[in-house]
Amino acid sequence: MKKELSRIDQDFTTFVKEIKSKIISSQYEALKAVNKELINLYWDIGKNIVEKQEQFGWGKSIVKNLSDELQKEFVGIKGFSMQNLWNMRQFYLEYRDNEKLQTLSREIGWSHNVAIFHKCKDPLEREFYIKMVIKFGWTYRVLDNHIDNKSYEKYLLNQTNFDNTITEKYKHQAKLAVKDEYNFDFLELNDEHSERELEIGLVNKIREFLTQMGSDFAFLGNQYKLEVDGEEYFIDILLYHRRLKSLIAIELKIGKFKPEYAGKMNFYLSALNDTIKLPDENPSIGIIICKEKARTIVEYALKESNQPIGVATYKLTESLPSDLKGLLPTPSEISQRLESLLETTDNSTLDKETIN
């Protein structure tokens, strides 16, 4: 009898979980539908404002007067402030000649859209950030941080061998996790500093360091000890990437990148995979951060490596170096890369904070 009751309880528990899952899925789909309707409404309002200004020669006062009337009529409903009406107008003006961005913009929240069309002026840059929000469920704060840190340029420029060493499912997320350049201006170091000073500075300001690395990184330790055949080896900094479910080994170099650094990192990653990595985790990834690098030397050094490695530089002042801007891919090459970003998207994994 007890066994019978136990089986019934288990069946009922399973039944409840299935119903809850259906409800959550339905709620999320409803949120997406509501978000799309809201973006459509804001688009239409922005379009109407522009058309009436062109038709009747109305000036800026139309926006203030319209805001006053709408807030009187729809008391307690947010979204009809004068500033937000200006945002709707700009939204229409920015995207009216770009059908692709019009369509993509319906898939993300309004606050995300505002951040993107205010801060990004290049259509391909806007497409990149919209697709990143769709694919990875970035919250507004995460998106804003990526824009401020120039993730678009650094994603296009970054040097890794991930195309040949990481599975398709995780490849794009892994590329995004490695920037071409990191800004360590929060360290307040002199130009002349040692690798140890750099490491200790990053550990002492771990919050700022992880913010610069990205929102999905967690700190596991510095001078992380590995034992191989009785010998001890130490990784400068060991992180963990939650989305990739991978250990991230960081090696810091205050000089120019040398090919032998890739060989040493290859060794560390093999040891991590054999002795530290858990069975349900993905293979470890290495990031070598140097003061300088010659891009051709990096390409050759990573070419034959069978472990996923990225090579980046660090600066103590913020900005994308002007000499790197000329290395950005052509618009057609960028478009091809962006097209692949959503190929493996599973919308069910998106963060619900995307829609707000």
In the chain, what are the domains? 12-148+344-354 (no CATH), 154-319 (3.40.1350.10)
For 17, residues 6+ apart whose C-beta sits below 8 A from its C-beta are: none
Residue 244 has what DSSP assignment? T
- pLDDT at site 353: 41
| Count of CA atoms in the C-beta half-sphere (13 A) of 312 | 28
Site of tokens 């478009």:
335
- pLDDT at site 249: 98
- pLDDT at site 346: 45
Find, among 177, 127, 172, the residue nearest to 151 by Cα: 177
Q: What is the Cα–Cα distance from 74 to 71, expressed in whole angstroms? A: 5
310 near 159, Cβ under 8 Å? yes
Residue 231 has what DSSP assignment? E
Site of tokens 């990205």:
214
Q: What are phi and psi of 164, to 5 degrees?
A: -105, -10
With a cut of 50, which residues of the chain have pLDDT below it? 345-356
For 262-271, give one letter per residue: b (16+ CB within 10 A) or e. Answer: beebbebbeb
**H/E stretch holding 220:** strand 217-228
Sign of CA dihedral 335, 341, 347, 350: negative
- pLDDT at site 285: 97
Question: What end-to-end distance do the CA atoms of the chain give, in Å?
Answer: 51
Query: What percent of the chain is helix, strand and coil (3-state, nearest 5)?
Result: 60, 15, 25
Q: What is the Cα–Cα distance from 144 to 76, expressed in whole angstroms? A: 28
